[in-house]
């Protein structure tokens, strides 16, 4: 392992050990500090992934646009009227709003790249680069925030996790939705409105429950200090949906205080 990872080294690992190539489109979730030192930092990692795949999608979520209204529909895992402080700090969504820190610096580096496109969902936008970037982003609507995941699945895409665990595997929300799990309404500041956004998925803290069950379909390698995985979407989503149908509480976290998971418990 080199002292400092280079683009070439990361690309070789992604291609030789996870089988990435120019035919495969992916969604990537990366925690840069887990890799150890990388020459050129986040831009290098974004570029190395981009160079190894067809179309690269990353989350560019902007939770910082969210506001909590005084009242709203019941059973929505939110305490209405509790958001005065948050509401005062909320930012208006705009296409160049930096991604929320939870999405990581590599997603932010991809967003800043001139060749990158971004969808316009005020909370759950994605960034994409590559031949199908426009098409995959266009599959997202206000009513269907998970459209890009379904697009990737339909085109034999995969999930790349670099230094993060299943709690970052956002695509599992599509299996939840298909299995009938409840979603939520959230509100975001946009340039001329407060937009009401349906079908927002919930907490991901319980997602590691599926980790070992996906071992048979997962390719694993180590890049720098990070465990990295590639999971094909089609079998992952089919398996997760089946498991959720058998056990409707699968993938929920066990925190008594988690409004999101407790509202979805059956």
Site string for Zn ion, 174-203 (x = CB under 5 A): -----------------------------x
Query: Using the rule CB under 5 A, which residue among 159, 188, 251, 253 binds Zn ion?
Result: 253
CB closer to Zn ion, 151 vs 170 = 170
In angstroms, what is the minimal distance from the CB of 253 to Zn ion?
Answer: 3
Stretch that binds Zn ion, among 91-99, 120-128, 187-195, 246-254 (CB under 5 A): 246-254
In whole angstroms, the minimum distance from the beta carbon of 259 to Zn ion comes to 8
3-32 residues in contact with Zn ion (CB under 5 A) are none
Question: 3-state SS of the chain?
Answer: CCCCECHHHHHHHHHHCCCCCCCCCEEEEECHHHHCCECCHHHHHHHHHHHHCCCEEEECCCHHHEECCCCCCCCCCCCCCCCHHHHHHCCCCCCCCCCCHHHCHHHHHHHHCCCCEECCCCCCCEEEECCCHHHHHHCCCCCCCCHHHHHHHHCCCEEEEECCCHHHCCCHHHHHHHCCCCCEEEEEEECCEEEEEEEECCCCCCHHHHCHHHHHHCEEEEECCEEEEEEEHHHHHHHHHHHHHHCCCCCCCCCCCCHHHHHHCC
Residue from 24, 59, 258, 264 that binds Zn ion (CB under 5 A)? 258
**77 part of the interface to Zn ion, by CB under 5 A:** no
Q: Is 261 in the site for Zn ion (CB under 5 A)?
A: yes
One of 36, 205, 217, 249 touching Zn ion (CB under 5 A): 205
Is the Cβ of residue 177 or residue 218 nearer to Zn ion in the bound state? 177
The angle at the Cα of 247, spanning 243 to 250, to the nearest 5 degrees, equals 75
Please return the burial class of 17, using the count of CB atoms within 10 Å of its CB with bins 0-12, 13-18 and 19+.
Answer: middle
Interacting span for Zn ion (CB under 5 A) from 59-67, 69-77, 161-169, 257-265: 257-265
Kindly tell me which of 44 and 260 has the beta carbon lying closer to Zn ion: 260
Q: How far is the CB of 158 from Zn ion (least distance, A)?
A: 26
- Estimate to the nearest angstrom the gap between the alpha carbon of 124 and the chain centroid: 9
For residue 187, the minimal CB distance to Zn ion (Å) is 20
Q: Which stretch binds Zn ion (CB under 5 A): 50-58, 64-72, 220-228, 253-261?
A: 253-261
The CB-of-175 to Zn ion minimum distance in angstroms stands at: 16
Binding site for Zn ion (CB under 5 A): 203, 205, 253, 258, 261
């Amino acid at each position: 392992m080199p002292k400092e990872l280079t683009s070439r080294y990361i690309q070789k690992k992604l291609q030789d050990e996870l089988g990435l190539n120019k035919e495969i489109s992916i969604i990537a979730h990366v925690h840069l500090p887990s890799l150890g030192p990388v020459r050129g930092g986040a831009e290098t990692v974004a570029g190395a992934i981009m160079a190894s795949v067809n179309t690269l999608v990353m989350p560019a979520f902007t939770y910082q646009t969210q506001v909590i209204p005084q009242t709203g529909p019941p059973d929505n895992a939110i305490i209405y009227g509790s958001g005065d402080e948050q509401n005062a700090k909320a930012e208006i969504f705009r296409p160049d709003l930096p991604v929320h820190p939870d999405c990581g610096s590599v997603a932010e580096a991809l967003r800043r790249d001139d060749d990158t496109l971004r969808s316009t969902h005020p909370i759950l936008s994605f960034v994409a680069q590559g031949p199908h970037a426009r098409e995959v982003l266009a599959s997202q609507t206000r009513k269907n925030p998970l459209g890009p995941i379904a697009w990737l699945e339909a085109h034999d895409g995969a999930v790349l996790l670099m230094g993060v665990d299943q709690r970052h595997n956002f695509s599992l929300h599509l299996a939840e939705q298909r299995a009938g799990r409840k979603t939520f309404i959230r509100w975001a500041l946009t340039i001329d409105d407060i937009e009401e956004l349906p079908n927002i998925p919930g907490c991901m803290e319980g997602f590691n429950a599926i980790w070992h069950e996906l071992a048979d379909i997962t390719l694993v390698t180590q890049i720098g200090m990070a465990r990295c995985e590639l999971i094909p979407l089609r079998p992952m989503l089919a398996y997760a949906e089946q498991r959720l149908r058998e056990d409707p509480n699968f993938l929920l976290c066990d925190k008594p205080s988690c409004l999101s998971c407790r509202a979805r418990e059956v």
